[in-house]
Amino acid sequence: MRHLNLKSTSHRNGFTMLELTVAASLLGMVFVVTLPLLKHVRVSRDAAQQRFVAQQEVANLMEQIAAPATEASGVTDESLTISPEAASHLHDAQVAIAREPAEDNLQQVTISLTWSDDAGQPVAPASLTAWFPVSEEMP
C-alpha cells in the first residue's frame, strides 16, 4: 500500500508576507539612516571646498600686495577684489584689508575674506597676516 505524503506537495518556494515585511522594514531603516548621513557628508565637503578656495584667494591677494609691481602700477587696497572663479564658489564674498604699524619699521597687513554658505549664513572668515617693511609712499 502506498501512502501519499501531503506535506511535501504543499511546500512553497518564495517569500512569505512576513519575510517581505521584514525585508522592507530593514531597507527602510537603512534609507532613514543613510540619507541624512549622505547629506551631512555633502554639506561638509562643500564647506571644505569653499574654505580651500577662500584661503587660496586670500593668498593670491597677499601676493598681489607683496609684488614690487603693485606700488609701481598704482594698485590700491580698494582696487583689489576676488577673482571671478572664487566669486562663483563664494556667495556674497567681501574682502577687507587692514594695515597697522608694527615694531621695527614694519607694517602689518591683514587680509580677511568673508562669505556666506549655501543657506545664507555667514561663515568664519579666512584671514592671512603678513609684515612688510614700511615705505615712505605707504601711509
Q: How confident is the model at residue 139 (pLDDT cuts 50, 70, 90)?
A: very low
Residue 6 has pLDDT above 70, yes or no: no
DSSP 125: P
pLDDT digits (tens, 9 = 90+) for 7-50: 555 566 677 888 899 999 999 999 999 999 999 999 999 999 99
Q: Using CA atoms, how far apart are residues 95 and 114, in angstroms rounded to an integer?
A: 7
Is 71 or 130 the better-scoring residue by pLDDT?
A: 130
Tell me the mean pLDDT in the region 116-127: 92
DSSP 122: B
Tell me the mean pLDDT in the region 125-136: 88
8 A C-beta contact, residue 114 and residue 96: yes
Whole-prediction pTM value?
Answer: 0.71
pLDDT digits (tens, 9 = 90+) for 86-97: 999 999 999 999
Adjacent-strand bridge partners of 122:
116
Which alpha helices (H) appear in 1-139, and where do they start and end?
Answer: 6-9, 17-66, 68-73, 84-89
Q: How confident is the model at residue 5 (pLDDT cuts 50, 70, 90)?
A: low
Which sign, positive or negative, has the C-alpha torsion 54, 92, 37, 28? negative
Domain ranges of the chain: 16-133
Cell, residue 129:
597676516
pLDDT digits (tens, 9 = 90+) for 49-68: 999 999 999 999 999 888 87
